Amino acid sequence: MLKINNGNLLSIATALILLSSASVNAEDIKIGLVAALTGPSAQSGESITRGLTVAIDEINAKGGVLGKKLVLVRRDDESSPPKGVAAARELISSEKVTAFFGGIDTPVSLAITPIANQNKTPFMAVWAAGTKITQNGAIPNYVFRVSAQDDLVDIALVKYAQQKYTAKKLGLILVNNPWGESNEKGLKAAVADTGNKVEIVGIEKLEQADIDVAPQLGRLKSAGADCIIMVANAAPGAQMMKSRERMGWKVPVVSHWGISGGRFDELVGESAGDVHFIQTYSFFSKPTDVSKKVMSSLESHYGVKSPADVIAPVGTANAYDGMQLLAKAMERAKSTDGEEIRKAMEQIDEYAGLIKNYKKPFGPNDHEGLMPEDYIMVHYEGGKTIPVK
């Protein structure tokens, strides 16, 4: 039997680091990623990684950017703002990334945003939807997004509850963090815009570690809620649905997309399909030249055989388009300087992407690449994330 002492382990670890570093040439352009790579939301980090990898390989196959190869450097934030901040600082200071991408958690992205602006390093948000991520008050602003935005999502969720379920009395279940707070404000504004056709009869908070949400649901049921709007990630969202099932309350549930970044359908079981939630793209949509190309790459890289095999599709789609837009900006800027890339991002004319054909997606005062008309509603069916009919 091979015996390995501490010295051997140190040598092995050092060798692995050297091997990893050897694959990165000094002339390569490093692109960073800060995302949940482990923990309950790890599927989101994996899906973003896949979207970036497919886009980067496609770009490199065409000669890279400015004649240089793009290389992805990842760091795990574990859905923790302090760890996200440390990761962003390391990517900027030590890894010298040209730009970096962010993952599922709004609290993490909000913590990272000032770092991006202070260091003049472009930051592309490709999942987290907190409104203040892009509307952060910085001039100039180095934060862009190819994803949903909470204020706009909240309008869409309220409208969907009205049209699909003729809802008039909404009960809100919101995760107790800055993302939940962002959506509370947005949902109140969206309801006010209905002209009193809808009212909020109760607002309940959901903790990440909650295992029994019956008390919160009971209060909403007593208040007469005829539809629940939920804002939560996969694990607490699953506990909410399990509590709903134990209560035997078949109230409709309309959700933000945080539940799609983990194992929500596995944790909930059959009733997972009762939740209708928002997305920016579905691989079940009508195929296009771009979607066929992406699906082919996902198959060769990850063994993806059909749209049903694409994990957390929104992460893959948003990351793919975000990377392509960033590459276009670098080519337009003819530079890897953050200031020049920021200016070039605001001047992109058009890009035929996976999610849509982008026309002037960003401007000096608007760093949102997607609009409400790009949102769709989906649900789980047989383990697949498919559009609601």
Same-domain pairing of 225 and 304: no
Q: What is the pLDDT of residues 283-335, one digit of tens each?
A: 998 999 999 999 999 999 999 999 989 999 999 999 999 999 999 999 999 99
Q: pLDDT at residue 210 above 90?
A: no
Q: What confidence score (pLDDT) does residue 25 get? A: 72
* H or E element at residue 273: none
Would you say residue 10 has pLDDT above 60? no
Domain count, the chain: 2
The residue among 12 and 336 whose pLDDT is bigger is 336
pLDDT at residue 18 greater than cutoff 70: no
pTM: 0.85
Based on the domain organization, do 161 and 122 belong to the same domain? no
In the predicted model, is pLDDT for residue 3 greater than 50?
no
Same domain, 127 and 165: no
Query: Is residue 361 scored above 50 in pLDDT?
Result: yes
Q: Label residue 24 by pLDDT band (50, 70, 90).
A: low
Would you say residue 121 lies in a domain? yes
* CA neighbor of 168 nearest in space, from 199, 138, 128, 123: 199
Asked if the structure places residue 328 within a domain, the reply is: yes
CA 369/CA 318 separation, integer angstroms: 10
**Average pLDDT in the chain:** 92
Residues 88 and 67 in one domain: yes
**Element of type H or E holding 104:** none
Q: Across the strands, what pairs with 68?
A: 65
In the 8-state DSSP scheme, what is residue 66? T
170, 139 Cβ separation under 8 angstroms: no
- Model pLDDT, residue 261: 81
Q: Is the same domain home to 348 and 312?
A: yes
Distance CA 196, CA 201 (A): 12
Q: Is 359 exposed, middle or buried (0-12, 13-18, 19+ CB in 10 A)?
A: exposed
- Are 186 and 239 members of one domain? yes
Over 70: is that where the pLDDT of 2 sits? no
In this prediction, residue 15 carries a pLDDT of 42
In this structure, the strands spanning 123-125 and 99-102 are: parallel
CA distances from 20 to 14, 26, 38 (A): 10, 13, 20
For residue 97, the SS3 value is coil
- Choose the final residue of a domain: 279, 314, 344: 279
Q: Do 155 and 241 belong together in one domain? A: yes
Residues 136-179: tens digit of each pLDDT:
999 999 999 999 999 999 999 999 999 999 999 999 999 999 89
Beta strands in 126-215 (DSSP E): 143-145, 169-175, 199-206
Domain-ending residue, one of 279, 309, 337: 279
- How far apart are the C-alpha atoms of 133 and 249, rounded to whole Å? 36
The answer to whether residues 210 and 235 belong to one domain is: yes
329 belongs to a structural domain:
yes
| CB contact at 8 A, 71 and 92 | no
| Per-residue confidence (pLDDT) for residue 17, from 0 to 100 | 39
What CATH number does the domain containing 250 carry? Answer: 3.40.50.2300
Q: Do 46 and 40 meet the contact criterion of CB atoms below 8 Å apart?
A: no
Cβ–Cβ under 8 Å, residues 56 and 125: no
Under the banding of pLDDT at 50, 70 and 90, the label for residue 21 is: very low
Rg of the chain over Cα atoms, rounded to whole angstroms, equals 21
Confidence (pLDDT) at 22: 39
Between the alpha carbon of residue 103 and those of residues 46, 76, 152, 263, the distances in Å are 10, 10, 19, 16
Q: Could you report the per-residue pLDDT of 82-127, keeping only the tens digit for each?
A: 999 999 999 999 999 999 999 999 999 999 999 999 999 999 999 9
Range of the domain at 249: 151-279
> Which helix H or strand E contains 96, and what residues bound it?
none
pLDDT band at 9 (very low <50, low <70, confident <90, very high): very low
For 325-355, give one letter per residue: b (16+ CB within 10 A) or e: bbbbbbebbebbebebbbbbbbebeebebbb
Would you say residue 5 has pLDDT above 50? no
- The answer to whether residues 209 and 142 belong to one domain is no
Locus of tokens 């670890």: 13
| Type and span of the H or E element at 82 | helix 81-93
DSSP letter for 335, please: S
Contact between 98 and 56 under an 8 Å Cβ cutoff? The reply is no
Q: At what angle do helices 81-93 and 106-118 cross, to 10 degrees?
A: 30
Provide the token pair at 42: 């790890």
383 in a domain, yes or no? no
pLDDT reported for residue 366: 96
User: Do 176 and 258 belong to one domain?
Assistant: yes
Could you tell me if 211 and 246 lie in one domain?
yes
Which residue, of 279, 310, 330, is where some domain finishes? 279
Structure token pair of residue 97:
């990334």
Report which listed range, 4-13, 48-57, 380-389, is most confident. 48-57
The Cβ of residue 69 has, within 10 Å, a number of other Cβ atoms equal to 15
Output the pLDDT for position 13.
38
Q: Is residue 7 part of a domain?
A: no
Q: How many CB atoms lie within 10 A of CB 72?
A: 18
Q: What is the DSSP string of 149-218?
A: -HHHHHHHHHHHHHHHH---EEEEEEESSHHHHHHHHHHHHHHHTTTSSSEEEEEEEE-TT-S--HHHHH
Q: Please tell me the predicted confidence (pLDDT) of residue 6.
A: 39
Q: What is the separation, in whole angstroms, between the first and last Cα of the chain? A: 59
In a domain, 6, yes or no: no
Would residue 18 count as lying in a domain?
Answer: no
Residue 202 domain-assigned (yes or no): yes
Structure tokens at 86: 């440390």
pLDDT at 23: 55
Specify whether 159 is located in the same domain as 122: no
